[in-house]
Amino acid sequence: MKDFTLIVMLFCGLQIQAAVYQVGPARAYTVPSAVANLVSDGDTVEIDAATYTGDVAVWYDNNLYLKGVGNGYARLDANGNNAQGKAIWVIKGNNCTVENIEFLHCTVPDNNGAGIRQEGKGVRISHCYFHHNEMGILAGDNTPSNICIEYSEFAFNGYGDGYTHNIYINHIDTFTFRYNYSHDPTVGHALKTRARHNYILYNRISEENGDGSYTIDVPNGGETIVMGNLIEQGANSQNSTIVAYGAEGINNPIADFVVVNNTIVNNRPSGTFFFVAATTNLFKLYNNLVVGNGTYLNGTPTTLDSLGNKRIANIANAQLTNPATFDYRLLATSPAIDMAVDGGTYAGINLVPQNRYVHQQQAVARIPTGAALDVGAYEFIGNTCTFTPIINGLQQVCTANNTATYSVPNLLGSTYTWAVMGGVIQSGQGTHQITVLWNNGAAGTVSVVQMVP
């Protein structure tokens, strides 16, 4: 238990209105495709949580916000249908956002029917679920284009030919994949990307009971950072390599592969944890917990920078909470505790993990709790940890009767008891973030007691 106090001193556009279309069984527009040709750039489409069987669409306009609303996903069950012989949704517009949508059961004559075929420049996909399609997401070659996928689940996608995957990103500029759960691909890869810049951060990427191939495949190189992930190769994997870099030839302009603070588990009796092409410029491998049988590294990069990794062949000896259920949190007896080294930076990017994955499809702040950071994707949290959270928020408020927000990192399972002098807590007591109404025009204080389970 720790008590931390922040002293707070009390001192002193034009918007374009876009249209909102509502879709649902009880709405004027009963299916999403009914508005696909009505929307214009910048519009929002709100789709009620319901099942829309056989409905597919092509979205041509830019800056669309396509979101499911209500209790649960808006469920697009293609039932074998497709748009343009490609996907449930073909997105041709630029810089669109897709949120709270479920995509399933797409098939096409070419056997690569996707939940989404991304053809526009730039997209953000958040809190979505792609499963039992021939391809989860397929993004074509496009530049300049940036794709961000976050808080989403991918499962059981693939035609079974080895060329279809849970996620397949072709040649774009930047691909960010964070806080996601990709698992049980059918013969193909859990994640495949040809982007020039790849940021694969704080995910659970696992084959589990599926029969996939590579867990992570970066076939053409690129500037790639893989940090804070849970990566697992299942016993039924079709390919013994877990993480592959440059396997189809490096043709991206940068050939740097940075792998930091991941927990990587091989549930096959043998295999290869890392393959890197000989033309890899830099392979930086820091603070990874690598568990199970198999070859550690296949390949000879120009520069191998490897420190702080923990290699344990016997899974039981890693002292993980419950490996049989893919719970790779550390026990108090784990040899990974306090064994990491300073990861430094790469291209100005901090290589000390700031978050940790929380199942399912969430993340919370990762706070060092001992003498040093722990090896792998998890930080051991015991009953007597002594980390010092910093209270974030305004330290100067111009006038009385103004509100301000204060927060500390959200550590899963913790409870927070806040105290305020000179103001009133309006909301958030018991959570990691509160809103305070300052009401006396003088100096005040904010403090918090955090209880760690």
Q: Do you know the residue count of the chain?
A: 453
Among 115, 44, 53, 51, which residue's Cα sits nearest to residue 83?
A: 115
Question: Do residues 101 and 74 make contact, with C-beta atoms less than 8 angstroms apart?
Answer: yes
Q: pTM of the predicted model, to two decimals?
A: 0.85
- Hey, what amino acid is at 318? A
Could you tell me the residue ranges of all domains in the chain? 392-451
Q: What share of the chain is helix, strand, coil (3-state, %, to 5)?
A: 0, 45, 55
pLDDT in tens, the chain (453 residues): 444 444 444 333 334 569 999 999 999 999 999 999 999 999 999 999 999 999 999 999 999 999 999 999 999 999 999 999 999 999 999 999 999 999 999 999 999 999 999 999 999 999 999 999 999 999 999 999 999 999 999 999 999 999 999 999 999 999 999 999 999 999 999 999 999 999 999 999 999 999 999 999 999 999 999 999 999 999 999 999 999 999 999 999 999 999 999 999 999 999 999 999 999 999 999 999 999 999 999 999 999 999 999 999 999 999 999 999 999 999 999 999 999 999 999 999 999 999 999 999 999 889 888 899 999 999 998 755 545 567 888 777 655 678 889 988 887 667 788 888 778 888 988 888 999 888 765 667 888 877 655
Return the structure tokens found at 292: 């199970």
Residue 206 exposed, middle or buried by CB count within 10 Å (0-12, 13-18, 19+): buried
Measured between alpha carbons, how far is 118 from 94 in angstroms, rounded to an integer? 10
**Residue 329, Ramachandran bin (φ over 0: left; ψ between -120 and 50: alpha; else beta):** beta
Non-local CB neighbours of 426 within 8 Å, separated by 6+ positions: 403, 434, 435, 436, 437
Q: Give dist(CA 145, CA 171) in Å, integer.
A: 9
